[in-house]
Structure 1
Amino acid sequence: MNKLSLFLALAVCSGTYAESRELPPIINNSTYANGSAYSTRTSANQPMLEMLGRVESLQSDIQQLRGMLEEQSHEINRLKQREQNIYADMHARLQKLESAAGISASTAVVVPKPVSAPVQPAYTGAPVLAAAQPAQAKPKRVKKVKPKSRAEEKEEFDTAFASVKNSHYQQAIKQLEQFLQDYPDGVYSDNAHFWLGSVYKVVNDLPAAKKNFQAVYTQFHKSEKAAMAMLKLADIYSEEKDAAKARKLYQKISTQYPDSTAAHMAAKEL
């Protein structure tokens, strides 16, 4: 009985002591840890976000530049095609004229009449007084000619080529001859020789035509007109019944310019 009372007393005392003791504060470690991690992660990702923004801006600029480049390429191709169409049309027109039966009088080449030598008076035995020598004129000062620009060269060639297109052949001959005097090694000199040879062929001045066609592929062998000029010259030899020279040029075209249109045309002639 005494032991049971003592045990109950001890239990009551321990419970009372436990209730009177203060509990430590509760710390929410999970919340504190998550907040710290979020703040650290935000500050670490800031440079990455800025870099992504710059990359997107660069990609936008590249797309704009690609668009501009495509537009310029399309415009260049359009201009090249337009120039090729003009040349093709001129070739067709000149070939029709070359194959025509006759040439009109307005386009025929006028050959100047030979000037007869002056008749010397018969000797009469009387002394002939020497004519008074005129006073020598002072030499004129030669003005320095300013070299012409690339734009002026193109403008003069376009003017001459317009005369060819409009069938003003005598005017075209004068303009192209003058152009070649002003620009013997110009950017358009190969074209000038080619069209001058074509016009001379139309007006039936074959020696001048052959001379200009030959100048294209000998002086400007890398020109786009070189193969066609060689073909034109070979056609003239063929018309003159000079089969050996014509065949030699046809074979030369196939060797030097195998992928050109002139080479395919030469192969048909061979």
Structure 2
Amino acid sequence: MNKLCLIMAICISSTVYAESRKLPPIINNSTYANGAAYSGQASSNQPMLEMLVRVEALQVEVQQLRGTIEQQNHDINNLKQRQQNIYTDMNMRLQQLETGAGISIDSSKSAVLYTPVKRQNTTIPTPVQRAKPKPVKKAKPRSKAEEKSAFDKAFTSVKDSHYQQAIKQLEQFLRDYPNGTYSDNAYFWLGSVYKVVNDIPAAQKNFEAVYTQFPKSEKAGMAMLKLADIYREENDSAKAVQLYTQITSQYADSTAAHIAEKKLQNIGQ
């Protein structure tokens, strides 16, 4: 009995001691140095993350701009090729016409005939009052759009085989724009049309104007080639060979130069 009471007393006292013992406090790592360093590192990484996002966005914009530029370059190349095809087709058509008899052009000039009149009585001539010259109006500067419109209109007449109308329009264009953007083309097509209508001197004059006034033009080599062909047709082989040789040196690697080389080989040079 005494042993039982002793055991119960020991159990009660250990329970009281366990209840009276305090639990250790919960440790908050954020209050320590390591926790503070970790929090600071996270906050310092935030601007870098934002910068990376911005860099990625800029890369996407650059890729989009590159795609737009490539598409625009593709469209420009297609337009250039289309224009070149039109010019090539016109050259072939005009060359086919040049090989024919040619089309006559109205070159009659009006003349006034004077018949002598016998005067019976000598009279003193009355002084003629000359009209005062009218002030010359200065031409307004034309825009690039107006120049292109005028050239397109003349070139349409060439394509439609309206040669008389094309000659008038091209000559008027060159009077309005002697050093314009399309002046070299105007001289070239005017020479081609004159060749078709069998006005050889006018054709020579306009072809020569292309490579003398616009030596860096894309039409310069072809104009010189056409002039050399005219000399060859007129049996002036010396001038033809001279121009063919000049084309191969001055406009090397061009279409005109390759054609000139073949023609020199045919001549035997």
TM-score range, shorter chain: 0.7 to 0.9
**Counterpart in the other structure of 1:55:** 55
Q: Deviations over 1:3-49 (max 9, x none)?
A: xxxxxxxxxxxxxxxx99x7894664878656444422221211111
Count residues with an aligned counterpart. 247
SS in 2 for 1:74: helix
**Counterpart in the other structure of 2:106:** 110
Matched to 2:116, the amino acid is Q
**Counterpart in the other structure of 2:10:** none
Q: Deviations over 1:222-257 (max 9, x none)?
A: 000000000000000000000000000000000101
Q: Deviations over 1:38-96 (max 9, x none)?
A: 42222121111111121122112112211211121111111101110100110110011
Q: Do structure 1's residue 154 and structure 2's residue 148 form an aligned pair?
A: yes
Correspondence 1:90-239 to 2 at 5 A: 90-100=90-100, 102-103=101-102, 107-112=103-108, 115=111, 117-122=113-118, 126-239=120-233
SS in 2 for 1:121: coil
Distance in 2 (CA, whole Å) between partners of 1:31 and 1:143 is 91
Distance in 1 (CA, whole Å) between partners of 2:41 and 2:57 is 25
SS in 2 for 1:153: helix
Matched to 1:132, the amino acid is T
Distance in 2 (CA, whole Å) between partners of 1:188 and 1:130 is 57
1:108 Cα shift? 1.1
Distance in 1 (CA, whole Å) between partners of 2:110 and 2:157 is 30
Distance in 2 (CA, whole Å) between partners of 1:180 and 1:165 is 19
Distance in 1 (CA, whole Å) between partners of 2:260 and 2:238 is 14
Cα separation, partners in 2 of 1:113 and 1:67, compared to 1, 3 Å: closer
Distance in 2 (CA, whole Å) between partners of 1:114 and 1:41 is 100
Structure 2 spans left out of the alignment, 5+ residues: 1-16, 265-269
Distance in 2 (CA, whole Å) between partners of 1:31 and 1:53 is 29
SS in 2 for 1:218: helix
Distance in 2 (CA, whole Å) between partners of 1:187 and 1:130 is 58
Q: Structure 2 length as normaliser, TM-score?
A: 0.84
**Counterpart in the other structure of 1:72:** 72
Q: Structure 1 length as normaliser, TM-score?
A: 0.83
Percent same amino acid among aligned pairs?
62
Matched to 1:186, the amino acid is G
**Counterpart in the other structure of 2:84:** 84
Cα separation, partners in 2 of 1:43 and 1:239, compared to 1, 3 Å: same
